[in-house]
Amino acid sequence: MSNEAAPRPHILILGQGSREHALSRTLAKSPLHPQVFVAPGNDGIAHDPLVQGGCVPISATEHQKLLSFCDTHAIDLVVVGPEAPLCDGIVDVLSAAGVRVIGPVKAAAQLESSKLFAKRIMASAGIPTASWSTLASSLEEATQQLQQCVYPCVLKADGLAGGKGSFIVRSIADALDVVHKLRVERIFGAAGDVILVEELLVGKELSYMGLTDGECFLPFSSSQDFKRLSSDDASPNTGGMGAISPSPECSPELEQMIQSDIVAPLLQEMSLKGFPYQGFIYVGLMLTSEGPKVLEFNVRLGDPETQAVLGREGSGDLLEALLMMSEGKLSAYQGDLRHQGHAVCVVSASQGYPLSVQKGDEIVGLTELLAADAEVFCAGLKYDADADMWLTDGGRVLSVVAEADSLDEAVERVYALSSRVFWRGLQRRDDIG
């Protein structure tokens, strides 16, 4: 019998935020001892001793460079973090060159890149969602349509808008203002050319994510995102200022219902329509008095939800699941990716976020926090080697996660850890969890 050790899998993660830092740490901790690379990553990931492959200065749009990196480093699997490269067809490009990759092809990624596509799929699959229509392209007809609406309602840009494309409008004047921004000022370019008008749903929001090969679906624990900058409902929407997992709203019955009434029909319909889906899938839900209704699908993991759901005590080996999926064997994966306990993720953001981000402020305490073996996931920051200091370099600077048997204990721990770093103008919600 050979006593040669199994070869270490070589994994390349694409992306540069806290979500990708969490993914890279989770995969790096696998008993399969992978070598994990992140492209382009960030200075925080580059300083993480767990992520042994380190960061590779290649962006997801540099297809030739990525292909040659995969070749020279014998990459076994590419995992794509953000939506932009997926919607841009990175999976098609890598797969065509024989590189195994987790994520949907461009045609299937329309589930996120076009809200109209997602609504049509939901309509034909019978998936519960807010009632909707598309706004006529002539201003005169659109105005007539908006006169018939029940307010408040929601206007949505069809395309990718960095999470800023949905507007709750309270009057026809508000609605016409949004139409002007989208169609005349074109604040999101072509993404705002088609506008959807949606019924306003009321309830609590829930994020539900999993991994699928198009048939088999492996769920992560449920989670809840805290989207607003502060606890004030009038404060601006952000990419997410924190998350908890599991969501206290998600009972086993609800989870079952989401799987059978939403995920299963979605995957079946995508196949039927010629868009078989594989990759991570994110279902954003509103828990209304009539039951759960889909707000949106994302074709990737959520940020900051991922930081809260991944790699926690009691969960299976995500790397093993991903490798099995890449070999067409996901259904044989025996583990459960849901964690036990309660995880809380708190995001710390720079001054001015999300409107005008202030960069270059010294981050005090980060070196010590990173050395403390805390779950710190870096995003908008950089390391100044000459001055030996960390500086803010983006909106959401870092996420800290703590897990405990109870939510209260996890909250206490995460805030004790988070308060060890600070910078001028730091913004952090104090009510996550």
Binding residues for ligand GLY, per CB under 6 A? 163, 225, 240, 298, 302-303, 305
Q: What count of residues does the chain have?
A: 433
Counting DSSP H helices and E strands in the chain, the numbers are 15, 21
Smallest distance, ligand GLY to C-beta of residue 280, A: 11
Find which of ligand GLY, ligand AMP, none residue 240 binds, CB within 5 to 8 Å per kind. ligand GLY
Instruction: Give 315-321 contacts, CB < 8 A, sequence gap 24+.
Output: 315/220, 315/221, 315/339, 315/340, 317/30, 317/31, 317/32, 318/26, 318/27, 318/30, 318/211, 319/9, 319/11, 319/26, 319/27, 319/30, 319/32, 319/34, 320/30, 320/32, 321/211, 321/218
Of 394, 403, 433, 398, the residue nearest 418 (C-alpha): 398
From the list ligand AMP, ligand GLY, none, partner contacted by residue 249 (C-beta under 5 to 8 A by kind): none
**Judged by CB, which is closer to ligand GLY: 69, or 226?**
226
302 binds, among ligand GLY, ligand AMP, none (CB under 5 to 8 A by kind): ligand GLY
Task: Give the largest Cα separation in the chain, rounded.
Answer: 78
Cα atoms in the 13 Å half-sphere on the side-chain side of 77: 23
Nearer to ligand GLY, 208 or 423 (CB): 208
Binding partner of 198, given ligand AMP, ligand GLY, none, CB within 5-8 angstroms per partner class: ligand AMP
Token pair belonging to 234: 């009038």
Strand order in the sheet with 132-134: 132-134, 195-199, 153-157, 166-169
Amino acid occupying residue 238:
T
Q: How far is the CB of 200 from ligand AMP (least distance, A)?
A: 4
Could you tell me if 210 and 333 are in contact, meaning their C-beta atoms sit under 8 angstroms apart? no
Q: What is the 3-state secondary structure (H, E, C) of 412-433?
A: HHHHHHHCCCECCCCECCCCCC
Give the residue with the Cβ less far from ligand GLY, 198 or 305: 305
Under DSSP, the state recorded for 260 is I
Name the residue whose CB lies closest to ligand AMP.
Answer: 166
The DSSP line for 61-108 is T-HHHHHHHHHHTT--EEEE-SHHHHHTTHHHHHHHTT--EES--TTT
In angstroms, what is the minimal distance from the CB of 237 to ligand AMP? Answer: 7
The least distance separating ligand AMP from the CB of residue 19, rounded to whole angstroms, comes to: 16
Residue 154 contact, options ligand AMP, ligand GLY, none, Cβ 5-8 Å cut-off depending on partner type = ligand AMP
Bridge-based pairing state of the strands 10-15 and 35-40: parallel
Task: Tell me the CA distances in angstroms from 303 to 164, 176, 212, 290, one per residue in order.
Answer: 14, 31, 19, 28
Token output for 421: 């770093």
Q: What residue is closest to ligand GLY based on CB?
A: 302
Shortest spacing between CB 178 and ligand AMP, in angstroms: 13
CA distance 263 to 282: 10
Which one of ligand GLY, ligand AMP, none is in contact with 201 (Cβ closer than 5 to 8 A by kind)?
ligand AMP
Q: At closest approach, how far in Å is the CB of 101 from ligand AMP? A: 25
428 binds, among ligand GLY, ligand AMP, none (CB under 5 to 8 A by kind): none
Helix, strand or coil for residue 136?
A: coil
CB-nearer residue toward ligand AMP: 160 or 374: 160
Shortest distance (Å) from residue 310 CB to ligand GLY? 13
Based on CB atoms, which residue is closest to ligand AMP, 239 or 380?
239
Residue closer to ligand GLY, measured from CB, 163 or 276 = 163
Tell how strand 375-378 and strand 242-245 pair up.
Answer: unpaired
Q: Among residues 298 and 350, whose Cβ is nearest to ligand GLY?
A: 298
Q: Which does 213 bind (CB under 5 to 8 A by kind): ligand GLY, ligand AMP, none?
A: none
Task: State which residue, 21 or 183, has the beta carbon closest to ligand GLY.
Answer: 21
Nearest residue (CB) to ligand GLY, 34 versus 219: 219
Least Å distance between CB 137 and ligand GLY?
A: 28
Shortest Å, Cβ 116 to ligand AMP: 12
* Cβ distance to ligand AMP smaller for residue 258 or 295: 295
CB of 285 to ligand GLY, least distance (A): 12
Residues at the site binding ligand AMP, with contacts judged by CB under 6 A: 130, 154, 156, 165-166, 198-201, 205, 227, 284, 295-296
Is-contact 122 260, C-beta < 8 A?
no
